[in-house]
Amino acid sequence: MVIWIIGLSGTGKTTLATQVTERIRNLDGKVVLLDGDLIRTLFGNDVDHTIEGRRRNAERLSVLSKFLADQGIHVVAAVLSIFPEWRLWNRKNIRDYSEVYIKASMQTLLRRDIKNLYARAARGEIQNVVGVDIPFPEPENPDLIIENDSDRLDFKELVDRIVGLKVVQEALQGT
């Protein structure tokens, strides 16, 4: 099973993915958390943040997710996922695949801009920032959309919604 958690930087996808991973680990044990930045690091930071670098990283995330899922390891991936063709590839090639889209307004993202990505991009200090100078094509048919404009301390309700998805429940029950 693969849960593909999509959203711009600052939407809460990594926080949510971490908590979903912990919940699944407590239920089943066989789960790994993948994050776009982590995959870059694992491969020696050999891709940049240009469209082509991002495309190569997206391919790695999708292929690695399928590989792990085929081995019986559940995957929770926190990714920008700006390439609709790779989301389609995931749907066609990964058994028990679910997409969760975490949405937040740009006003919220600017307020949460921990990495200073949006502020630096707005000042022209950096380029290749998704949502600023690289478009973010929203997923067309996610299995779940979560509006996350409020500042939360407790993600339990959101974790419950993700783990409660039919595909997730069936995979965890082994059906």
Query: Distance from first CA to last CA of the chain, Å, rounded?
Result: 11
List active site positions: 81
Q: What is the mean pLDDT of residues 38-47?
A: 88
What is the CATH number for 28? 3.40.50.300
How does pLDDT run across 127-168, given as a tens digit for each residue? Answer: 999 999 999 999 999 999 999 988 877 899 999 999 999 999
**pLDDT given for residue 138 in this prediction:** 94
Query: What amino acid is encoded at 155 in this protein?
Result: F
How many domains is the chain built from?
Answer: 1
**What is the span of the domain harbouring residue 24?**
2-173
Q: What is the mean pLDDT of residues 105-124?
A: 91
Percentage, residues of the chain above pLDDT 70: 99
Percentage, residues of the chain above pLDDT 90: 79
Burial string for 27-54 (b: 16+ CB within 10 Å, else e) reads ebeebbbbbbeebbeeeeeebebeeeeb
